[in-house]
């Protein structure tokens, strides 16, 4: 049986009015944030004026000791090359009323990295923390990680670590995050 996660997200995007299409399988974008032990379910190309140009859906199949897991990588390509010295990673930390099982009560953003990337990441994390709509996005969708990419793909990736279905307001928040990432590199 084929996993329909990509098809469902594509239908969800169409329902909220995004101009998008299912990409062919085997294109280079399938490799975005896809280590050898995971598999890409395919790419959804975004044709609108958003800085997010495609979404790569990745899955880890069920094993004897763990359930299946999905990741959605929203790709924000840049024309300029980002050096590895400026690696940036910012992630949401969802504070819960009771560890692991409690309800989420707040969201904070934390930068991970070294050197110049850590300084830029701290500034971006502070900006995200000040934005209520971005905090609500992490509150509702789950853990979110933003990281800079270099090599064959230069730009940023916004990662959501589960199956998702989003509304227009959440899409606009993702787009706002993408624009804030791009502004950091200009």
Q: What is the mean pLDDT of residues 129-134?
A: 91
Q: What is the mean pLDDT of residues 81-93?
A: 80
Phi, psi angle pair for 58, to nearest 5°: -120, 145
Write a three-state SS string for the chain. CCCCHHHHHHHHHHHCCCCEEECCCCCHHHHCCCCCCCEEEEEEEECCCCCCCEEEEEEECCCCCCCCEEEEEEEEECCCCCCHHHCCEEEEEEEECCCCCCCEEEEEEEEECCHHHHHHHHHHHHHHHHCHHHHHHHHHHCCEEEEEECCCCCEEEEEECCCCCCCHHHHHHHHHHHHHHHHHHC
For CA atoms 43, 22, 54, 7, give the dihedral sign: negative
Hey, what are 13's tokens? 């995007």
pLDDT band at 18 (very low <50, low <70, confident <90, very high): very high
* CA 102/CA 111 separation, integer angstroms: 24
* CA 49/CA 78 separation, integer angstroms: 14
Query: What pTM does this model have?
Result: 0.89
Boundaries of every domain in the chain: 5-185
pLDDT digits (tens, 9 = 90+) for 63-79: 889 999 999 999 999 88
pLDDT band at 186 (very low <50, low <70, confident <90, very high): low
What's the confidence (pLDDT) of residue 99? 75
């Amino acid at each position: 049986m084929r996993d329909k996660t990509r098809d469902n997200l594509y239908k969800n995007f169409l329902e909220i009015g995004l101009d998008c299409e299912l990409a062919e399988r085997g294109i280079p974008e399938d490799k975005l944030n896809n280590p050898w032990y995971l598999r890409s379910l395919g790419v959804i190309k975004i044709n609108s004026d958003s800085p997010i140009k495609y979404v790569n859906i990745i899955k880890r199949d069920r094993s004897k000791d763990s359930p299946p897991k999905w990741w959605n990588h929203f790709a924000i390509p840049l024309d300029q090359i980002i050096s590895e010295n400026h690696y940036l990673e910012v992630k949401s930390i969802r504070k819960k009323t009771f560890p692991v099982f409690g309800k989420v009560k707040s969201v904070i953003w934390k930068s991970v990295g070294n050197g110049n990337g850590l300084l830029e990441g701290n500034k971006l994390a502070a900006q995200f923390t000040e934005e209520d709509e971005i905090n609500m996005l992490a509150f509702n969708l789950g853990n979110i990680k933003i990281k800079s990419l270099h090599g064959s793909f230069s730009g940023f990736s916004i990662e959501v670590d589960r199956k998702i279905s989003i509304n227009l307001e959440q899409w606009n928040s993702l787009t706002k995050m993408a624009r804030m990432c791009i502004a950091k590199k200009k």
